[in-house]
């Protein structure tokens, strides 16, 4: 009976699987492999070597032997056998390193050491954040790249932008570029009510419509709505206008050969939804239109812009200890983000049920499709899990940002905020959010409108000395590019190596000085990147050089008067 409690399913020879007698010498050892487990490994290696030497195929099987040896060495088979005495063994699968959320245990043990370390040193990494590390500086130079519009429009181009704030921003800027390519008149984009974002805001609620039209007037004609005679042709129903189904990442040639003839024939075409419908690599004058739309023409509407400016000024005032400088963090730990990631934290049964319900509510049936396998541990090891507020705080403290650092957290509604935000506030007592920085009366017009609230976060992050991205997505992609555009091609940005971080936080016995060294190495790696030019497959919204910016000439060295 005892033999059948091992890895076998009971179909084999029970005698061959029988447990060896328990030994007082090893009975107390937890996590050690039994003699039988070692025997299996030895027999496997012996068998492999026998085949190799019998067939003299050493070179052919060498890679297989190497991989098998590494798997055995690293314990990737992941089985641990516990000897409980009396011939009873329990077999369980070891979780691979980094696959389990153990960060709270690590933080609880290290917190006294972290505080003692902070009390011994007044150094703050923030004080070095704005020191120039780049020799060549860049400046905006869009106007020289942008083509003038044709005299007669080829028709009206109507698009529907979906998603959140920055997904909509992507659609708008690409629509401007396509309108310029087709010599079409762009109608102010329609915003689609998204099932996840649930924001009914229109274009004019988020962006300054009049300024948008004016800023583009020399390059692309934009109108707020279709003329009356065009609407009459379609019974005043825009959805009656032909909706073109376009390929994702379509080339300019595709638009000229497939879309332009339709536009000329019908006088108006519609694309709904219009998301990721233009390739990254397009001619320079089309890229220039993207630059102009994103970095110059899209200005937030006055209610958003004025409150955001007040919030930035308040952050500067509160950060007097660091010379008016602050850190911003884009934290993605909202319920929908945690649910979509399929990652596990310190959840109980009630919280797991909440996640299942959130997944079904936002992405009906997607996670219950036949054959779909969800592996939370693999997701975490691969760096795909959202960092918790606690993990972000430990990373920043390890990098050298002390408890006097003013931190702004840009986020939606954090999942179980009282529980998960507490450690981050403990590490950074001066932490601010839009709810602490603005009054309830100031925020009242924005409540229930996630895109407008995201616009406030975007502006405060835009003007921070250091920006920390924790999960990717359109918000950091656009923000990083915008900061580069504003700050001469380079702005301090931290994009953590999450694969490395989860490995470190899976070691309950890790020493603070070792963890701190690893975090400071990670910070130096971020600094070393400096100015990054756009690669052919990359987006200029993240990498505005060289499409939207020109390199400034190096300053001439000053002449020593003594040598003249």
The model's pLDDT over 159-172, given as tens digits with 9 standing for 90+, comes to: 999 889 999 999 99
pTM (predicted TM-score): 0.81
CA distance 170 to 228: 29
pLDDT at residue number 149: 73
Could you give the count of Cα atoms lying within 13 Å of 485 in the half-sphere of its Cβ? 23
Q: What is the dihedral of CA 380, 381, 384, 389, to 10 degrees?
A: 50
Mean pLDDT of the chain: 84
Average pLDDT over residues 18-23: 41
With beta carbons less than 8 A apart as the criterion, state whether 328 and 408 touch: yes
pLDDT at residue number 115: 93
pLDDT at residue number 193: 74
- pLDDT band of residue 145 (cuts 50, 70, 90) is low
Q: pLDDT tens digits, residue range 353-398? A: 889 888 888 888 888 888 788 899 999 999 999 999 999 999 999 9
CA distance 360 to 338: 13
With beta carbons less than 8 A apart as the criterion, state whether 387 and 496 touch: yes
Q: pLDDT tens digits, residue range 45-103? A: 566 556 555 555 555 555 555 555 544 444 444 444 444 344 443 334 568 899 999 99
Indicate whether 12 pLDDT > 60: no
Which contacts of 452-457 are long-range, i.e. CB under 8 A and separated by 24 or more positions?
Answer: 452/199, 452/201, 452/205, 452/206, 452/304, 453/412, 454/164, 454/165, 454/166, 454/410, 454/412, 455/165, 455/206, 455/300, 455/304, 455/308, 456/304, 456/307, 456/308, 456/311, 457/330, 457/410, 457/411
- pLDDT band of residue 534 (cuts 50, 70, 90) is very high
The runs of H, that is alpha helices, within 342-388 are 349-362, 376-381
Q: Which of 166, 134, 164, 126 is nearest to 467 (CA)?
A: 126
pLDDT at residue number 40: 58
Average pLDDT over residues 469-495: 93
CA distance 126 to 129: 5
DSSP state of 243: B
pLDDT at residue number 446: 95
pLDDT at residue number 365: 83
Pick 281 or 2 by higher pLDDT.
281
Indicate whether 402 pLDDT > 60: yes
With beta carbons less than 8 A apart as the criterion, state whether 316 and 326 touch: yes
pLDDT at residue number 374: 84
pLDDT at residue number 14: 40
Pick 192 or 438 by higher pLDDT.
438
């Amino acid at each position: 009976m005892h033999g059948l409690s091992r890895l076998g399913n009971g179909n084999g020879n029970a005698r061959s699987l029988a447990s060896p007698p328990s030994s007082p010498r090893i009975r107390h050892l937890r996590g050690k492999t039994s003699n039988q487990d070692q025997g299996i490994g030895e027999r496997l290696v012996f068998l492999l070597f026998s085949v190799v030497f019998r067939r003299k195929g050493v070179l052919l099987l060498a890679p297989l032997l190497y991989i098998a040896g590494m798997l055995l060495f690293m314990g990737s088979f992941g089985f641990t056998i516990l000897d409980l005495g009396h011939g009873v063994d329990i077999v369980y699968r070891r979780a691979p390193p980094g696959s389990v959320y153990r960060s709270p245990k690590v933080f609880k043990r290290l917190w006294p050491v972290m505080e003692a370390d902070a009390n011994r040193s007044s150094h703050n990494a923030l004080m070095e954040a704005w020191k120039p590390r780049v020799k060549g500086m860049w400046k905006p130079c869009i106007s020289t790249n942008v083509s003038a519009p044709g005299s007669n429009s080829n028709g009206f181009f109507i698009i529907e932008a979906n998603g959140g704030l920055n997904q909509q921003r992507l659609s708008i800027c690409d629509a401007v570029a396509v309108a310029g390519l087709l010599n079409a008149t762009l109608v102010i984009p329609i915003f689609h009510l998204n099932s996840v974002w649930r924001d009914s805001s229109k274009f004019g609620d988020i962006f300054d419509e009049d300024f948008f039209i004016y800023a583009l007037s020399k390059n692309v004609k934009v109108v707020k709505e279709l003329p009356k005679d065009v609407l009459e042709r379609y019974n005043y129903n825009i959805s009656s206008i032909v909706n073109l189904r376009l390929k994702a990442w379509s080339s300019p040639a595709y638009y000229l050969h497939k879309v332009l003839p339709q536009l000329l024939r019908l006088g108006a075409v519609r694309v709904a939804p219009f998301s990721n419908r233009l390739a990254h690599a397009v001619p320079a004058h089309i890229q220039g239109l993207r630059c102009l739309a994103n970095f110059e023409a899209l200005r937030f509407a006055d209610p958003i812009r004025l409150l955001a400016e007040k919030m930035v000024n308040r952050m500067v005032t509160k950060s007097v200890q660091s010379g008016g400088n602050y850190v911003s963090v884009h934290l993605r730990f909202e319920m929908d983000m945690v649910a979509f990631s399929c990652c596990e934290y310190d959840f109980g049964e009630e919280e797991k049920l909440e996640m299942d319900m959130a997944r079904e509510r936002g992405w009906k049936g997607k996670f219950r499709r036949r054959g779909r396998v969800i592996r939370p541990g693999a997701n975490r090891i691969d760096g795909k899990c959202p960092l918790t507020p606690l993990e972000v705080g430990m990373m920043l403290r390890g990098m050298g940002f002390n408890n006097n650092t003013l931190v702004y957290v840009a986020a939606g509604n954090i999942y179980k905020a009282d529980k998960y935000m507490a450690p981050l506030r403990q590490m950074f007592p001066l932490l601010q959010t839009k709810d602490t920085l603005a009054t309830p009366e100031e925020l009242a017009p924005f409540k229930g409108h996630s895109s407008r609230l995201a616009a406030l976060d975007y502006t405060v992050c835009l003007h921070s000395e250091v920006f920390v991205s924790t999960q990717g997505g359109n918000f950091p992609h656009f923000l990083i590019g915008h900061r580069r555009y504003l700050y001469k091609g380079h702005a301090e940005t931290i994009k953590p190596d999450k694969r490395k971080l989860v490995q470190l936080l899976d070691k309950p016995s890790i020493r603070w000085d070792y963890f701190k060294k690893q975090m400071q190495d990670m910070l130096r790696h971020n600094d070393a990147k400096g100015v990054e030019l756009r690669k052919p497959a990359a987006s200029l919204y993240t990498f505005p050089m060289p499409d939207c910016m020109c390199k400034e000439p190096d300053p001439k060295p000053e002449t020593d008067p003594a040598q003249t």
